[in-house]
Chain A
Amino acid sequence: MRIDQRLRRRWPWAALALFAVVPLAMPEGFYLDLLMFTFMYAAMAVGWDIMGGYAGYVSLGHVGFFGLGSYAAALLLVHLGLPVFMTAPLVGLMASLLGAGLGFISLRTRGPAFVIVTLTFTYVAQLLMLDLKSVTGGSQGIFLPLLDLPANLVIVPFYYAMLALLVIAILVSIAIRRSKFGLGLIAIREDEGKAEASGVNTSLYKILAFAISVWFAGTAGALHAQYLNYVDPDLAFELIITLNLIIMSLFGSRGIVWGPVLGAFVIYPLSAYLIFLLPSRLAGQLHLVALGVVLVLVVMFLPDGVLRTYMAWRKKGPKDYGSVEAQASMAEAPG
């Protein structure tokens, strides 16, 4: 039991150490790219889960913040010469402010208004980037100056940046889960009226959670733009990105710190492999179908996600629940 617990606490650090040395062992190629995108999706999924998992409010708008983050970073670089690695966290803050504004409009009521508003927001953002041709170049997009690095090493800084983003996401998620704020968010998910009757300022909590949640999307979008050296409205606002985040969170388990991480580490490599396997003419469509199938299977057979189902299975029988601290930390969460 004790060894088991110690292992559970330490494996994330072991994994982190391992990921940190991967680029030294193989500084180029397919796997580095694969890991980098996995980190990016995991970080955004953990961020999505702060809103979608803890508070229970499903956002369909995260790609809107991702895309706007891409554009903001691109414009800051092209017009002001500010490097993306410097501006990315600030671009994330801009996304958070925008998220707070959007939340202010849509989160003061309960229910599905939020879902609709976030989805609409994505399309409005995309349309704006398409139509504000004088600023954004319209459908031609914006080319970003290349990084001054040898072509085979160019991925390395992005790899570490996305890894750092993931670490930040996990730490923030753990901190929220342990805080009174996090308890308030879960209370909102469980029974919003009762949460209000307990003195929880539900609107403020939700707006704050959403602002934190989209920071990761905005920051990831900024980094992604520089990685591709290019941004256009189709690429930056692909709805599939939001869907990925949702499927990853559902698959791994919503409302648990490590749920979306697990989901991202399973779903992203699988879909990348699928795209790699299939003839490119079909890959785009078939990969969407496959994601849909995964979603249906998860909803039908694992409605609580892999991690929660596994935890429930392990807890079966007359077992103690462990301390609340242990539950609040790491993979353990009630439910």
Chain B
Amino acid sequence: MIAASNQPGGPAPPIAEPSANLVIRSLEKSFGGITALSDCSFEVRAGSITALIGPNGSGKTTLFNCVTGFYRPERGEVRFGGALLARLRPNEVVHLGIARTFQITRIFKNMTVLENMIVPIRQIGLRTLFTAGIKGPERERAEALLEFFGIAFLRNEPAGRLSFGQQKLLELAAALMAEPKLLMLDEPAGGLNPVMIDRLTAYIRELNVGGMTFLIIEHNMGFVMELCEPVIVIHRGRVIAEGSPAEVRANPAVLDAYLGD
């Protein structure tokens, strides 16, 4: 469960890069007088599919933004493996192995599907930067991912022409091009029909079996209960419950948060 560190004389390093725990400690963020996160602490274990739920305005997306470098938290720290994230820029967070999607799908609408796949960049090197963009192993990987998500036949379409569901899959596929160890999804099932949700669930499971860690914000409780373990509930910017789906469902504080005062 703890990120494997390759000590000399220890076991041979695994083939895939070891994932790491995401540790969030006492995070605080406010906008003007409104406190979005206050003393928010939890951990995302490597290899888990962790859900982050809570009523609207509870601070879930703010937390995502603090982790991925879009916001600077006022206090607290975010660690991934050995790295401190709180002062990094979004692209640097990606380079550490954390990719994300957005609540409102963000893709490059005027670029083709395949071009959308080539934009993400994990490592920066001048040589890779200035040779032809769409070619070689990278192109093969992009094609394979598009096949995996069943949208390869759209590769040369402008991304803006895709249906809503296809755009969500494209955003997910493109995020995977950055080879993340931890993938943070903001409402991946939002607006998808039940068939699409089943497919998405299967995709996430398969990727997770391959070693990828997930942190997922979602309002679709069926999706969360089926896929995620553990479930973390935040309310007014702090964690109020954490545990298996069954435990969380049985927790009165959670019901209170959703229905109460």
Q: Chain A residues in contact with chain B, CB under 8 A? A: 175, 178-184, 186-187, 190-191, 193-202, 204, 320-325, 327-328, 334-335
Residue B95 at the chain A interface, CB threshold 8 Å: yes
Chain B residues bordering chain A, tally (CB within 8 A): 40
CA distance A198 to B116 in the complex (A): 10
Assembly CA distance A198 to B260 (angstroms): 39
Given A180-B129, A180-B131, A193-B106, are A198 and B115 neighbors across the interface (CB < 8 Å)? no
Q: Which of A193, A196, A324 is in CB contact (< 8 Å) with B112?
A: A324
Within B86-145, the residues touching A (CB, 8 Å) are 89-91, 94-95, 99-100, 102, 106-112, 114-115, 118-122, 124, 128-134
The residue in chain A whose Cβ has the minimal distance to the Cβ of B120 is A198
Cross-interface CB contact of A180 among B102, B106, B118, B175, cutoff 8 Å? B118
Contact check, A198 vs B133: say whether CB atoms are below 8 A apart. Answer: no
Q: Name the CB-closest residue of A to B121.
A: A199
**Is A194 within 8 A of B107, CB to CB?**
yes
- B204-248 Cβ-contact flags toward A at 8 Å (1 or 0): 000000000000000000000000000000000000000000000
Q: How far is the CB of A123 from chain B (nearest CB, A)?
A: 32
B110 engages A335 (CB within 8 Å): yes
Judge whether B68 is part of the interface by a CB distance below 8 angstroms.
yes
Smallest CB gap from A327: residue in B: B112
In the complex, what residue of chain B is closest to A195 when comparing beta carbons? B119
List B contacts of A204 (CB < 8 A): 124
- A323 to B91 CA separation, bound complex (whole angstroms): 30
The contact sample of 22 A-B pairs, CB cut-off 8 A, is A178-B133, A179-B131, A180-B119, A180-B130, A180-B131, A193-B90, A193-B106, A194-B102, A197-B70, A197-B90, A197-B91, A197-B100, A197-B106, A198-B120, A198-B175, A198-B178, A200-B120, A200-B121, A324-B112, A324-B115, A325-B134, A334-B115
Q: Please, which residues of chain A bring their CB within 8 A of the CB of B134?
A: 178, 324-325, 328
- Confirm or deny: B156 has a beta carbon within 8 angstroms of a beta carbon on chain A: yes
Interface status of B158 (Cβ within 8 A of chain A): yes
B183 interfacial contact with A, CB 8 Å: no
Q: Shortest beta-carbon distance, B83 to chain A, in Å?
A: 15
In the assembled complex, which residues on chain B have CB atoms less than 8 Å from the CB atom of A328? Answer: 132-134
* Residues of chain A within 8 A of B118, CB atoms compared: 180, 183
B100 touches A183 (CB 8 A): no
Bound CA span A321–B161, Å: 12
Q: Closest residue to B106 on the A side, CB-wise?
A: A194
Shortest Cβ distance from residue B108 to the other chain A in the assembled complex, whole angstroms: 4
* Chain A residues within an 8 Å CB radius of B156: 320-324, 327
CA distance A116 to B209 in the complex (A): 51
* A187:B111 contact, CB within 8 angstroms: yes
A181 vs B127: C-alpha distance in the bound complex, in angstroms?
Answer: 10
Min CB–CB distance A181 → chain B (angstroms): 5
Take A184-B119, A322-B156, A324-B156 as given contacts and tell me if A199 and B95 are in contact as well, using a CB distance cutoff of 8 Å: yes
